[in-house]
Amino acid sequence: MNKIDDVLKQYNCKLNDTQVAETVKEILSKKLEENKNEAVYKTCFNCIDLTSLNSTDTYEGIAAMMEKVNSFKQNFPEMPSVGAVCVYPSMVETAKNTLKEKIGIASVSAGFPSSQTFLEVKIAETAMCVLEGATEIDIVISIGKFLSKDYQTVAEEISEIKAACRNAHLKVILETGALKTAESIKIASIIAMEAGGDFIKTSTGKMEPAATLEAAYVMCLAISDFYKKTGIKIGFKPAGGIVTTEDACKYYSIVKEVLGEDWLNNKLFRIGASRLANNLLTSIYGKEIAYF
């Protein structure tokens, strides 16, 4: 691929963290209340990647989660389903064999969550996930190499993993909590998109801070810049610590304000969550629901 340092020169990555925080605060003060409504709640629900990424996951537990998705429409006929399910590589086959709904099967891969393994292992694990039935792959950038400013290696790794995805969509996790600054988050976003990522994602949920609204804003700015340059729409996925209905509405508001209506669907907007689904259902129906 092209020298990534030359590519980065085509973008403005000089961002001020204080100004980013102030802009996010302004967007929410003006737009959040109007987005607190049932239609938005349903859209957010339809954009959920229903996630189970625990060391205690069992085949039985994942199968039970899939059956909950299968029977969801019977229990909530007026609701859209979730956008996808997200599991560990060893659980992809169970998800595929149990899931009947035509939604995405996402698998984390490539040494998730640390990404501290050999590129050959990352490629092999990704290819195996796709072979088992994953239609979406979530990987973490090589954070250590990024922090060492070895941007070319970071980009080339993503590009090679993308090739191993075949027809599966690739979501690239930046682990924004480790990147610290808005400038670094924007650089990582551009690298991920230029290297072939179909989505950029905030966090693994395995370190703090996880998703933040400031990181979301910067990533959406990067997506907008990339779209203006290439005409290609890249998706955005916040993940990690997004639990309440208000949390979801805040991220929805950022996406709507920066990227516009075209991004407010599960083809271009996902929310990685395990507890959010029940909270959205509770807000929609006005009573406590603990379905998932």
Nearest-angstrom CA–CA distance, 141 and 131: 22
Domains held by the chain: number: 1
Residue 290 located in a structural domain: no
- Residue 11's contacts (CB-CB under 8 Å, 6 or more residues apart) are 186, 190, 222, 225, 229
Q: Which of 122, 162, 171, 237 is catalytic?
A: 237
Residue-wise pLDDT for 111-128, tens only, equals 999 999 999 999 999 999
* Chain length of the chain: 292
Q: Which of 189, 204, 166, 191 is nearest to 235 (CA)?
A: 189
For 136-176, write each residue's pLDDT tens digit: 999 999 999 999 999 999 999 999 999 999 999 999 999 99
- Would 174 be classed as within a structural domain? yes
Evaluate whether residue 291 is within a structural domain: no
pLDDT at res. 1: 66
User: Which pLDDT value is given to residue 274?
Assistant: 85
Q: What CATH number has the domain bearing residue 150?
A: 3.20.20.70
Across the strands, what pairs with 140? 173
Query: Which domain range does residue 194 map to?
Result: 4-285
Name the pTM for this structure.
0.97
- The catalytic position among 49, 138, 225, 247 is 138
| Catalytic annotation present for 138 | yes
Q: Is residue 34 part of a domain?
A: yes
Q: Is residue 64 part of a domain?
A: yes
Does residue 292 belong to any structural domain of this protein?
no
Specify which residues 178 forms β-bridges with. none
The catalytic residue among 122, 162, 171, 201 is 201
Is 237 marked active-site? yes
Per residue in 44-96, pLDDT tens? 999 999 999 999 999 999 999 999 999 999 999 999 999 999 999 999 999 99
Angle (CA) 206 211 212, round 5°: 145
